[in-house]
Copies of this chain bind each other. A is one copy, B any other.
């Protein structure tokens, strides 16, 4: 099924490609323009910040200049610690993301689909949803110790809630008319979910994924309070404990960059898989 669809998609793409060479050039130009537009704000921000730091408006013990931060990051890259921090954190977020997504898909589908499951699980899940990440820390240490499992699970918890919420609401919002089509063709509940409900609620699901991933990055800090010796969250907390503003800001910047990159991947997936939507072209 999946293979087939991608086949079809590629057919579509090539047939388009042949016919629209000029369009493609235009697209490339547009892509460039879009990147340039997107860079305006960050560049302005960094420039102003650098200037203000230079004239001493931000004293360096509070907010070091971007160049200083940049040097810090470059320094870490050179002595190799940077890759360790990024690598381990990315691994944890990825693992937690996968775990959390699986849990959310299963529970979300159940709750979205069966009234009994909703009545049973939903109240509890909604209650857990507002417990801050830091609050989980002592409990997770108690239950799972300080190894990787507790860290990954912590991130999975963060990832879980937005995905769950979006799946449930996505399922509830699926047009009855389409579900009836599936029923008419004798689909089992599972098939109904896979062939109608999941694709139909895909937009909502994908937003959930993106939200969840963002929360995954946020939960890293709490996760790495649990006995980490490496990682971006570790870097942040240590920077705070040791009054090293450049470490703090460097870790923030790294969070922003990697978070943005990971989100960009999901956004690509989103654009790809929702091409069938009858959207208004902006």
- Copy number in the complex reads 2
Beta-carbon contact of A259 and B129 below 8 Å = yes
Complex Cα gap A251–B218 (Å): 21
Say whether A124 faces chain B, with CB atoms less than 8 Å apart: yes
The segment from A15-23, A74-82, A98-106, A172-180 found at the interface with B is: A172-180
Beta-carbon contact of B279 and A176 below 8 Å = yes
Complex Cα gap A118–B281 (Å): 13
Interface string of A104-148 (1 = CB under 8 A from B): 000000000111101111111011111111110111001000000
Interface string of A39-64 (1 = CB under 8 A from B): 11110010000000000001000110
Nearest CB on B from A195, distance (A):
15
Interface size on A, residues (CB 8 A): 89
When the two chains form the complex, which single residue of B122, B128, B217 contacts A132, counting CB atoms closer than 8 Å? B217
18 additional A-B residue pairs with CB within 8 Å, beyond A129-B214, A166-B207:
A37-B120, A38-B119, A39-B123, A40-B120, A41-B121, A42-B124, A63-B142, A127-B256, A131-B252, A131-B255, A132-B221, A132-B236, A132-B255, A133-B218, A165-B210, A169-B207, A169-B270, A175-B278
